[in-house]
Structure 1
């Protein structure tokens, strides 16, 4: 079936392990489809897998054999990319030709593992995947916006399902300028009309207020350890039903203090630090629930498909890069300057 361009990650390492090369286009299998990829989001999980961040050992493992999120070694060389949106251009045996030309999102988390982590993903011009991993969409979002959805919004939606978000709740989102946090805000404030307290770093308050103008989003600016942070914690102490936190780090105890009795703290990441100290008394004396979320809920992607087709969500896009410039895109992604929203790649 010829070849196409892809970014292949050759192993654990810095940006030099990312190779933009020609790869064979896989043959179709029964029940699968060939997708021409139009856009792919940039996510923490792609970087974390590349640098071996998920390994929980004490350094005894060889640098080239760091374990992935599931405790197994990542199958390098690997086409990463947990996000992909595109057009079905060919269908395998058992799939109706009706679907040729349809716009689809590829589900990032499946029963077989993570797209772009456990098997080849979206950082390529074409990809063959089981049709059961594809979700057709039909709305006014751009391809770049669609490519920003699968991983961030899937992760966010699954956390919201686990935390049993309902109308009338107040949700707190630290690190609110990031991709997953932005998806949480969108899925709460726009799709569900749930009140959100969004905490952002210095210089980002006005950007976020403009982005969510007219929605039930209260924005506060401050970083852990600063005077503004202390004021935020004091303002919302004991007022929040659910905290959705992918930041972690030193601010966790402060964030827990903002929960009401019986509240929930749900997390699927720890970009500011994975190892934190927690006073267990805060948890049990306040009847708090601590929830982790990696494997997605069954309702996750059906919900997202419905929200997309009903125009209930709209991702924020910071900048679009070409696929061959992936190293530049990941560096920009890791720069925590005055920006909000997602970075996206296009072929």
Structure 2
């Protein structure tokens, strides 16, 4: 019988258990994107709390666009030393730490001095920002920014990186037909719409080498009209596996989806864990590790899923915002479900803090 506390391996990376802290926007970085004492403590508490692997909040790879307030950054070499302190404290407690890399695209605040980037000139349904359609030169420039940021992560000492291609951020927008209406090689069918992500991955792999862990976070589907479908997601995951991606985390939707009735019908609190069905189907298509995320609150349910499916790992976000020591508590025999009630009041463009923990 498999255990959630098995020691396993993803590519060259050894994991002390099957629990992963899913990337969570903290909103606590300094104005210029540096890690401060408040943010350092978040990572220290997570590492002390027993989770085997931590994926950081989305970290900016480019300064072409305006930053999300409180977002970490790594768009030039000056940030490398600043990142080392959260790496060191994570390793102190025998946990891994993976840097999530992303570009916001339309999901950011407005700044007339900086450009809002997108695959096409289509207004974001949630954020109401209208991007300029990216030129081929801008596409290549962003891909290079991702690759250089990944190399900085490796130099800083991160155990790997995760490419954020979910939730409506820039790479996700390229996958979504509603937002990607290009007529060149980056638009149209899923082979073309995934080209931005595929080329970004290839450039990253060329920079970091074949033995450095590279993960992808992707929507199982967009849950919106003219969104990426589940069949298209499976195509992309299989393609990424062929190219050497080490693991995929299966999530879904975006703010645009939450405005769409179909999303609320499909993903509801009573159906948690939300994306397990999709993760199971993806695992039937690929041989690399698959990570399920969303609505994970109960260790008994997770143990059942682990042993009745081929899902390898489970990622948690809000439960660890609520209880950073949740995994340690479970490992010590207190298997009560997470105290998180999925109210969603911890998140937004402010600091991500559980309402029960606010001072």
Taking structure 1 as the reference length, what is the TM-score of the superposition?
A: 0.29
> Of Structure 1 and Structure 2, which has the larger fraction of its residues in strand?
1
Specify the structure having the higher radius of gyration (Cα): 1
Compare the two structures and name the one with the higher helix fraction.
2
